[in-house]
Structure 1
Amino acid sequence: MQSNAMTHRRGDYESNLEVLNIIENVILEIVTCLSKNEPPTLVLPNRSTWDNVSFDSAIGLQMSSTNVVKTIRSDCPKSSQYFSQIVKILSVIYTLVQSNSYATKRDIYYNYTQLFGSQKTVDQIVDDVSCMLKMPRRALHVLASSKGLISGDLCYMEEDGTRINCNSSSAAVAVSSNIEGIQNIVSSARFILIVEKDATFQRLLQDGLCTRLSPCIMITGKGFPDVNSRLMVRKLWDVLEIPVFTLVDADPHGIEIMCIYKYGSMAMSFEAQNLTIPSVMWLGLLPSDLERLQVPRNALIPLTKADENKLKSLLKRPYVLEQPEWLKEMELMQKNKFKAEIQSLAAIGPDFLTSVYLPNKLRYGGWL
């Protein structure tokens, strides 16, 4: 244990030195430009274009080596403020890493509200800086607040020594803000279940899903997942080496959320190696389930124009051809022009989801 701790500390020390060195080089380039009476610029990979993303079936969506970049100029009215905001974030990160302390993105925003104007700006710049420096965000000592919840057969230790027990059947535990610091993971779980929505997660918790089925771990990112929820699932998958299933609504939004866990996202493609779980399986709710189970028509919802556009976009994603069974389900949804929430199964029976649907799916292999 002591040897592992020493190795971990040595790794942190080396990582800290690397971050400090990279930031110093960036600042040196700015100072050099100023000394030559030239306006300094910063060059960032563009995180909002598919042209910057390639697909690898073993990793997911990752930033390609031939980056499309955007240049942030200090002498341009449109980008000068963003330039100064990036430099400020670099300064904050340098201080945090040098002192080996941590801050949340919320802390940074509230310390400099006038400069940044909104929390969203801080969030975007931290990710831009992480991408520019080619360093994972946790190496920058900037933490994000977590919105996810976790429950089930799982115990672990936080970096500060706090022991976390997720075994309570009535209450979930908030996902940690420092996933990298989690140690001593203990679990007998046979699988991990990612639940799209908090409402469904809470219902499954109340119904005692984690005890009624074989030992398992249940986690929700409460819709579109935050980075910490994705990091947590990835860490558990790495350590426990157990299957990971997703339970999402049978709609384009649910499918996209599932794809984010499995393949990653365009905006965070630069950190795909640490975020994606390539073995994720689609447990439900499948569009074909709606026909097979004869879910009442009044429980189904017509696709909106936005839904249809989202579905078309998903069908063009580079990973869809890797999953022909997923493709069939999406095409079925497109053909039927209906979507359904997980709660639609209550139209068959109030406890159908927990007592029949999930046990049968897991027992007889009804996943894709």
Structure 2
Amino acid sequence: MAEHLSEVDKLRAKLLQNIEADDETATTYFSNVVREDVLLRIEKVIGNIVSSLSREEAPVLLLNSRSQWSSVRFEKPVGLLMTSDCTVTTLRSNGSLSLNKFAVILKALSTIYNLLQNDSYATKRDMYYNDPQLFGSQKILDTVVDDLSCMLKVSRRSLHVLATTKGLIIGDLCYLEEDGTRVDCSFTAVPVCSNVRGIISVTSSAKFVLVIEKDATFQRLLDDDFCTRFYPCIMITGKGVPDINSRLMVRRLWETLQIPVFALVDADPHGIEIMCIYKYGSVSMAFEAANLTVSSMLWLGLLPSDIERLGVPHDVLIPFTEADKRKMNSLKKRPYIFCHPAWEREITLMLQWNQKAEIQSLASIAPHFLTRVYLPNKLCHGGWI
């Protein structure tokens, strides 16, 4: 046990070093800025548009490309970061295909400017219903808000725009929201805060955070009293591909509590990708990676090698689709996979089998195998409980 504790202490020290390295990167590349500074950045954009009009020229906006791997670089302590020389798209006000988006951006900028002036906040949903006919869909507005955040080089919170949350959290955790509301996650699962950066007085004695891919698995662990059995700990789910608030909360817990963060995902391409989003970020949000990623996150399960080791029945395994194969081959080429030889072996094993498995497949061994055998063995082996 002493040897285990020594290794735990070493890893915790490493986690703290990673946090400090992350904070330095965040400061140099992308950080929250004061309200007045954001107002000035917006005024500069509008000033350029007015100057173009005064010269009888069609105004343009320059947007960083947020969808190309060529626009990001990988740094292991942080994750995927947008390059300084990323591809830039010119959005023209006189283009038949770009005119509507140009108008949507100006409307969004106007709304954000008013929010900043009044020092108030709004959700993206609130913004959409302010002019649904212009915005067209919530998805279009969501993309525009992220484009503006990237263009102005500020976080979404600095724009005073909040996202509607979908994640859930439970465990040994209490905190105060910005308005003074006390949130206690100890007894029941609560929605992840929609203003994570505004929370204060975070208190917890948790030994680890377990990030769960799917709500179904999260609910199963709730039914089996996972948090009680492994008290003190924290359990959180983003219900699939995580929203920004869920990622911000995991990051906040990691840097505040300085405890290990584990990922429990399906043994399939999408599960692995979701874990990588939490750990290293995504291409589309690479401009804010330093505020979102948890580079020390550990892949607890379900590992493809676990399927063979535990003798999971073949009839509960799911054959790969062509889309699964494409996704897995794409994952193999990503820069962060090369940093993890063990991950490469797991991915290769899954490709060889041409099959995938959901976490629920462990129930085929025994109804409570996940919570009473699999997770205890994984956590005990690492010396975390």
* Aligned pair partner of 2:185 in 153, 166, 186: 166
What is the one-letter code of the residue matched to 1:350? P
Q: Residue 265 of structure 2 corresponds to which residue in structure 1? A: 248
What is the one-letter code of the residue matched to 1:228? N
Q: Residue 6 of structure 1 corresponds to which residue in structure 2? A: none
**2:290 aligned with 1:273:** yes
What is the one-letter code of the residue matched to 1:292? R
The residue matched to 1:75 in structure 2 has which SS? coil
**2:301 aligned with 1:284:** yes
Q: Residue 66 of structure 1 corresponds to which residue in structure 2? A: 85
C-alpha deviations, 1:93-122, integer Å up to 9, x for none? 110011000000000101101101100011
The residue matched to 1:218 in structure 2 has which SS? strand
Identity %: 62
Alpha-carbon shift at residue 152 of structure 1 (Å): 0.4
The residue matched to 1:261 in structure 2 has which SS? helix
- Verify the 8 A CA contact 2:32 2:158 in the aligned structure 1: no
* Equivalent residues in 2 for 1:36-55, closer than 5 Å: 36-55=55-74
The residue matched to 2:67 in structure 1 has which SS? coil
5+ residue gaps, structure 2, are 1-30
Q: Residue 26 of structure 1 corresponds to which residue in structure 2? A: 45
Alpha-carbon shift at residue 13 of structure 1 (Å): 11
Q: Residue 337 of structure 1 corresponds to which residue in structure 2? A: 354
Alpha-carbon shift at residue 34 of structure 1 (Å): 0.1
**CA distance in structure 2 between the aligned counterparts of 1:178 and 1:243, rounded to whole angstroms:** 23
**CA distance in structure 1 between the aligned counterparts of 2:129 and 2:106, rounded to whole angstroms:** 17
**CA distance in structure 2 between the aligned counterparts of 1:151 and 1:323, rounded to whole angstroms:** 30
**CA distance in structure 2 between the aligned counterparts of 1:129 and 1:13, rounded to whole angstroms:** 14
C-alpha deviations, 1:139-193, integer Å up to 9, x for none? 000000000000000000000000000001xx31000100011000010000000
**CA distance in structure 1 between the aligned counterparts of 2:226 and 2:149, rounded to whole angstroms:** 38
What is the one-letter code of the residue matched to 1:248? V
The residue matched to 1:176 in structure 2 has which SS? coil
C-alpha deviations, 1:175-224, integer Å up to 9, x for none? 01000110000100000000000010011011111110141000000000
Alpha-carbon shift at residue 271 of structure 1 (Å): 0.2
Deviates more, 1:358-367 or 1:96-105: 358-367
What is the one-letter code of the residue matched to 2:366? G
**2:118 aligned with 1:99:** yes
The residue matched to 2:315 in structure 1 has which SS? helix
Alpha-carbon shift at residue 366 of structure 1 (Å): 9.8
**CA distance in structure 1 between the aligned counterparts of 2:32 and 2:86, rounded to whole angstroms:** 30
* Equivalent residues in 2 for 1:171-190, closer than 5 Å: 171-190=188-207
Kindly tell me: are residues 13 and 248 of structure 1, through their superposed partners in 2, closer, same or farther at Cα, counting changes over 3 Å? Answer: closer
C-alpha deviations, 1:311-361, integer Å up to 9, x for none? 000001011111111111001001111100000000000000000000000
**2:240 aligned with 1:223:** yes
**2:353 aligned with 1:297:** no
CA RMSD, Structure 1 to Structure 2 (Å): 1.3
* Aligned pair partner of 1:85 in 104, 119, 125: 104
The residue matched to 1:83 in structure 2 has which SS? helix
Q: What TM-score, normalized to structure 1?
A: 0.95
**CA distance in structure 1 between the aligned counterparts of 2:344 and 2:219, rounded to whole angstroms:** 30
5+ residue gaps, structure 1, are 1-11
**CA distance in structure 2 between the aligned counterparts of 1:366 and 1:289, rounded to whole angstroms:** 19
C-alpha deviations, 1:269-309, integer Å up to 9, x for none? 00000000000000000000000000011111111110000
What is the one-letter code of the residue matched to 2:257? L
**2:36 aligned with 1:17:** yes
**2:147 aligned with 1:128:** yes
The residue matched to 1:98 in structure 2 has which SS? helix
Q: Residue 3 of structure 1 corresponds to which residue in structure 2? A: none
**CA distance in structure 1 between the aligned counterparts of 2:355 and 2:175, rounded to whole angstroms:** 42
Alpha-carbon shift at residue 229 of structure 1 (Å): 0.1
Q: Which has the higher contact order (CA 8 A, sep 6+)?
A: 2
**2:157 aligned with 1:138:** yes
- Verify the 8 A CA contact 2:262 2:299 in the aligned structure 1: yes
- Verify the 8 A CA contact 1:283 1:366 in the aligned structure 2: no
**CA distance in structure 1 between the aligned counterparts of 2:311 and 2:61, rounded to whole angstroms:** 57
Q: Residue 114 of structure 1 corresponds to which residue in structure 2? A: 133
**2:71 aligned with 1:76:** no
The residue matched to 2:74 in structure 1 has which SS? strand
- Verify the 8 A CA contact 1:53 1:62 in the aligned structure 2: yes
- Verify the 8 A CA contact 2:32 2:155 in the aligned structure 1: no
Q: Residue 321 of structure 1 corresponds to which residue in structure 2? A: 338
**CA distance in structure 2 between the aligned counterparts of 1:293 and 1:267, rounded to whole angstroms:** 37
**CA distance in structure 1 between the aligned counterparts of 2:194 and 2:32, rounded to whole angstroms:** 21
Alpha-carbon shift at residue 14 of structure 1 (Å): 6.2
**CA distance in structure 2 between the aligned counterparts of 1:113 and 1:14, rounded to whole angstroms:** 29
- Verify the 8 A CA contact 2:33 2:154 in the aligned structure 1: no
Alpha-carbon shift at residue 365 of structure 1 (Å): 2.7
**2:174 aligned with 1:151:** no
**2:234 aligned with 1:207:** no
